[in-house]
Amino acid sequence: MTTTTAAPASTIDSDACCGTPPATLPREDALAMATLLKAVADPVRLQLLEIIRSSPRHEACVCDMTEAVGVSQPTVSHHLKVLTEAGLLTRERRGTWAWFTLVPERLGDIRSIFD
């Protein structure tokens, strides 16, 4: 049986605990960042973003994405809705199809979380 002994009091840094708490992210900002990160925290959503990002005009029709990601059209539509609600995409109806365009500023918001 292994026992653990506490460090002698003389080696404990008394300033390391219970001092001024470190600066933290305001709760509202943390919630906004978490929502954004949750939107991209899915393999299919990342694939969809990459399809749109790599297209010449940073836009794609839902009809072109379904086969590329290997899931059903309703599933693709659900993921596109999540990305649109997070502000990463805009949606435009063209005839019977929905076209999605990337919002580059929102990708910048994701990058800024880690700066």
Residue ranges of domains in the chain, CATH in brackets:
26-113 (1.10.10.10)
Q: What is the pLDDT of residues 23-70, one digit of tens each?
A: 788 999 899 999 999 999 999 999 999 999 999 999 999 888 999 999
Percentage, residues of the chain above pLDDT 70? 85
pTM: 0.76
Q: Please state the φ and ψ torsions of residue 108, each to the nearest 5 degrees.
A: -60, -35
Say which residues have a Cβ less than 8 Å from residue 15's Cβ, sequence separation at least 6.
Answer: none
Q: How far is CA 61 from CA 2, 50, 57, 73, 94, in A?
A: 63, 13, 12, 12, 9
